[in-house]
Structure 1
């Protein structure tokens, strides 16, 4: 049995994995999909990257989890990187799912410079402490790659604003023990919006896979994603 911990990205919450979780559990594995602080029913302007890292580390410690396959979607690439830095002994595999991949000391603004537009826009609004979810785009991009009207309605009901601190706090990647953790990158391809660029993977030890899907592949192609997670881990 493998233990998967699935970490959602910005604006989302743990419900985002509801189509993937049963596929992994049916295959005989344990799955935890936490909702990070401020992403449930109540926005928390004090939360940020360090809060989210503490959320996941606390889960691993309290549940006494080891040999964990830690999956981070989108922004959560920063979260899982920092979690691995803090408790590398508990993690067997890092999976970056269409995710930001930082180096030591970087913020989300460094990894994905287009996020600066979101932060600057928030600063000019009446709520400068938060960034609202991205708007729906014309097909085929939809809302984070989701185009089915019912799925869009459900997804929109789960999204919350993201605190500015999440974009401004840097990752800490100064623990050499984390370097030995296996890594896989899954890139969602075929439906990339203009202006979104992905860093090339320059780690020769890492696996790189492609999944034909929009960004929120856990909602649009859950069976394909689950099969890939089972295959690579």
Structure 2
């Protein structure tokens, strides 16, 4: 039995996986959706990026999970990628779902935000948080009006401290057995960092013809990819 630890991206909590979890459990696996500190039902807890890494490691160790597939979506690819190097032989595979990947010493916003001053201004205007996504952010992402309403309605402000804190890798990402899920409506190609990792021999690419939030738009297809990744994890 594989234990899936599912971590959604910015603004979201464990609730975001509610349509994926039944597929994994029906196949006989454990499914453990995780809410990071400062989000959803855990709002109000101060949190930086390393807090989120520790959230994931502690969830695995506290439940004594084995044959673990860590799943990180969007922002959460950053802490999941770091946690994967810290759980030792408990790890079977990592799945990055249309996510960023950590680079040692770099933050979530190092390569795409408009500089630290812009980030500071955005966070200051929202009480130190990254304001939740809007309906406009969801346009063109293969979401029905009902899915968009559920996604936007459930989103909570994201702790700003997690965005600029640098990653600390205990193990090079290229050594990890990993699957990268590219959601094609959010861009046809993986970024340069992911492309290099895919060329390294231990990473596999899976593509989905959907938008950036496949746990809402295509939960059954996403579950199928996760189950395939679990099979590959057992082969490592």
TM-score range, shorter chain: 0.7 to 0.9
CA shift, 1:139, in A, is 7.3
Query: Is the CA contact (8 Å cut-off) linking 1:100 and 1:111 kept in structure 2?
Result: no
Separation in 1 of the partners of 2:114 and 2:23? 34
Separation in 2 of the partners of 1:137 and 1:170? 29
Q: Does 2:182 match 1:187? A: yes
| Equivalent position to 1:212, from 209, 223, 226 | 209
| Equivalent position to 1:198, from 182, 185, 191 | 191
> Cα distance 1:59–1:41, how it changes in 2: closer, same or farther (>3 A)?
closer
Separation in 2 of the partners of 1:17 and 1:198? 25
1:140-161 deviation per Cα after TM superposition (whole angstroms, max 9, x unaligned): 42xxx36322222222221111
> Match for residue 3 of structure 2?
3
Query: Is the CA contact (8 Å cut-off) linking 1:67 and 1:91 kept in structure 2?
Result: yes
> Match for residue 77 of structure 1?
77
Q: Does 2:148 match 1:152? A: yes
Where structure 1 has 5 or more consecutive residues not aligned to the other structure, the ranges are none
Query: Is the CA contact (8 Å cut-off) linking 2:182 and 2:190 kept in structure 1?
Result: no
> Match for residue 135 of structure 1?
134
Where structure 2 has 5 or more consecutive residues not aligned to the other structure, the ranges are 231-236
Separation in 2 of the partners of 1:118 and 1:75? 19
Separation in 2 of the partners of 1:46 and 1:72? 21
CA shift, 1:53, in A, is 1.1
Separation in 2 of the partners of 1:28 and 1:78? 28
> Match for residue 122 of structure 2?
122
* TM-score, length of structure 1 as denominator length: 0.87
1:171-195 deviation per Cα after TM superposition (whole angstroms, max 9, x unaligned): 111336x7543111000003449xx
- How many residues in Structure 1 have an aligned counterpart in Structure 2? 226
Of Structure 1 and Structure 2, the greater helix share is in 2
After TM superposition, the structure 1 = structure 2 runs for residues 160-171 of structure 1, keeping only pairs within 5 Å, are 160-171=156-167
